[in-house]
Amino acid sequence: MSPLTIVGAVVDGEKVGLRCEDGAIATIGPEVAPQPGDEAIDAAGATLVPALVNGHTHAAMTLFRGHGGDLPLMRWLREMVWPVEAKLQADDVYWGTRLACVEMIRTGTARFWDMYWQPEATARAVEDAGLRATIGGPLFDADGRTEEMKAQALADLEALAARGPAIDAALAPHSIYTVSEGLLRWVAETAAERGVAIHIHLSETEHEVEECLAAHGARPAAYLDRLGLLGERTVLAHGVWLDAAELETIAARGATVVTNPVANMKLAVGGAFPYPAARRAGVAVGLGTDGAGSNDSLDLFADLKAFALMQRHANGDPTVLPAAEAWQVATGARAPLLDGGCEPLTPGAPADFLLLRRDAYEIGLGDLASDLVYAAGGSIVDTTVVAGRVLMRGGEVEGAAEVLAQAAERAHSLGLG
- Chain residues in the site for Zn ion (CB under 5 A): 290
HSE, side-chain direction, 13 A CA sphere, residue 299: 15
Query: Closest approach of Cβ 260 to Zn ion, in Å?
Result: 7
CB 167 within 8 A of CB 123: yes
- Please list the residues that pair with 109 across neighbouring strands: 52
Q: Is 172 or 196 the residue whose CB approaches Zn ion more closely?
A: 172
Helix 323-330 / helix 300-315 crossing angle, nearest 10 deg: 140
Query: Closest approach of Cβ 56 to Zn ion, in Å?
Result: 6
Q: Is 260 or 331 the residue whose CB approaches Zn ion more closely?
A: 260
Cα–Cα distance, 333 to 86 (Å, whole number): 37
Query: Closest approach of Cβ 284 to Zn ion, in Å?
Result: 18
Nearest to 279 by CA among 232, 321, 222: 321
Query: Closest approach of Cβ 174 to Zn ion, in Å?
Result: 9
Which residues are CB-neighbours of 207 under 8 A, at least 6 positions away?
none
Q: Is 98 or 238 the residue whose CB approaches Zn ion more closely?
A: 238
CB 329 within 8 A of CB 320: no
Instruction: Please return the burial class of 81, using the count of CB atoms within 10 Å of its CB with bins 0-12, 13-18 and 19+.
Output: buried
Query: Closest approach of Cβ 163 to Zn ion, in Å?
Result: 22
Q: Is 81 or 403 the residue whose CB approaches Zn ion more closely?
A: 81
Q: Is 290 or 382 the residue whose CB approaches Zn ion more closely?
A: 290
Query: Closest approach of Cβ 67 to Zn ion, in Å?
Result: 17
Q: Is 140 or 374 the residue whose CB approaches Zn ion more closely?
A: 140
Cα–Cα distance, 333 to 320 (Å, whole number): 18
